[in-house]
Amino acid sequence: MVAVMELLTQGDQIRLERYRLPCIVEDVLGSGGQGEVYRVQIDRNGQRHPYALKWYYPHAATDDQFTLLQALVKRGPPNTRFAWPLDIATRAGEPGFGYVMPLRADRYHGVVEMMDERIKPSFRAITIAGLQLADGFWQLHAAGLCYRDISFGNVFLDPDAGDVLICDNDNVGIDGRSNVSIQGTNGFMAPEIVRGDSAPSIMTDLYSLSVLLFYMFMVHHPLQGRRG
C-alpha cells in the first residue's frame, strides 16, 4: 500500500461534474498505487448520503484517465455487482480530479482475507461468489469491455451470503481500443502480457478470472506447486 499523503482533508468541498450536488470529504479509507479513497457525504434534498471518493495522485490524473472516466460514467455498470464510477469529482480552481462510487458495505470482505483465514465462508458461499463473478464479468465482456486487473485486491465477498462486489472499475475500457494504463497484478496476468506480446483484453481477463476462481476454491495458485 502507498502511504497516505492526505491529498484531501476533512471538510473539503468537492464538485460533482454531472449531478452538481454538494459533496463533503469526511475521512480517508485507504490508498493504492493510483490514489486515495475517502468517505464522503453527498447532499440530496437536505439529506446526506455516504459514498466513496477516489482521488488520483498527480501522476495518475492524466487526460486519458479523465476521458476514460467520462465514458464509464456515461455508460453505467453492467450490473449492480460493480462499484461503478457514478460521477467525476473536481475542486474549483485547483488541479486534480477523482470519482465517486458506491460505498462498500461492512458485510463485504476482501478475498485476501479468505486466503489467510480471517474469514471462513462455506463452500456454498464460495460457489455463489464464483457464479456471481463469472456472470458479472460475462456481462462486462458482452458489452465489449475488459477489466484488465482481476485480482485479490479488487474483489470483495459476503462470507455468509456469497454475494460479491467488484471494485476499482476506473481502468475498465473498450476491448482493443481504449488506452491501457495498467497491465494487471503479478500472479494473475496472462503469460502473453508478461512476455510483452499482448495488452490486457477480454481473453486475458478470462485467464485472470480462472486464477482467481482457483484460488478461491483451492486456496492456492493453479500453476505453483511441487512437480513429480
Region 5-16 average pLDDT? 85
Region 200-208 average pLDDT? 96
Alpha carbon distance 91, 41 (integer Å): 15
Predicted confidence at residue 80, as pLDDT, reads 94
Q: What angle do CA 16, 21, 24 make, to 5 degrees?
A: 80
Which residues, in sequence order, are CB contacts of 156 under 8 Å at separation 6+?
104, 108, 109, 110, 111, 164, 165, 166, 167
> What phi and psi values does residue 210 have, to the nearest 5 degrees?
-65, -40
Strands (E), 136-187: 145-146, 155-157, 164-166, 173-174
In this prediction, residue 47 has a pLDDT band, given cuts at 50, 70 and 90, of: confident
CB 98 within 8 A of CB 66: no
In this prediction, residue 128 has a pLDDT band, given cuts at 50, 70 and 90, of: very high
- Checking if the pLDDT of 189 tops 90, the result is yes
Alpha carbon distance 202, 142 (integer Å): 10
Alpha-carbon distance values, 75 to 62, 102, 182 (Å): 20, 16, 21
Predicted confidence at residue 180, as pLDDT, reads 67
Strands 164-166, 173-174: pairing is unpaired
Alpha carbon distance 181, 59 (integer Å): 11
Strands 22-31, 13-16: pairing is antiparallel
CB 52 within 8 A of CB 36: no
Written as nine digits, the cell of 80 is 449492480
Closest CA to 145 of 85, 88, 102: 85
- Pick the range with the lowest mean pLDDT from 43-52, 82-91, 100-109, 134-143: 43-52
Predicted confidence at residue 223, as pLDDT, reads 85
Percent of the chain at pLDDT > 90 equals 75
Helix H segments across the chain?
Answer: 63-75, 111-115, 123-142, 191-194, 202-218
DSSP state letters, 156-179: EE-TTT--EEE--GGG-EETTTSP
Region 82-98 average pLDDT? 93
Predicted confidence at residue 182, as pLDDT, reads 81
Residue-wise pLDDT for 146-156, tens only, equals 999 999 989 99
Predicted confidence at residue 3, as pLDDT, reads 45
CB 31 within 8 A of CB 7: no
**Mean pLDDT for the chain overall:** 91
Predicted confidence at residue 93, as pLDDT, reads 82
Q: Against a cut of 0.75, is the pTM above it?
A: yes
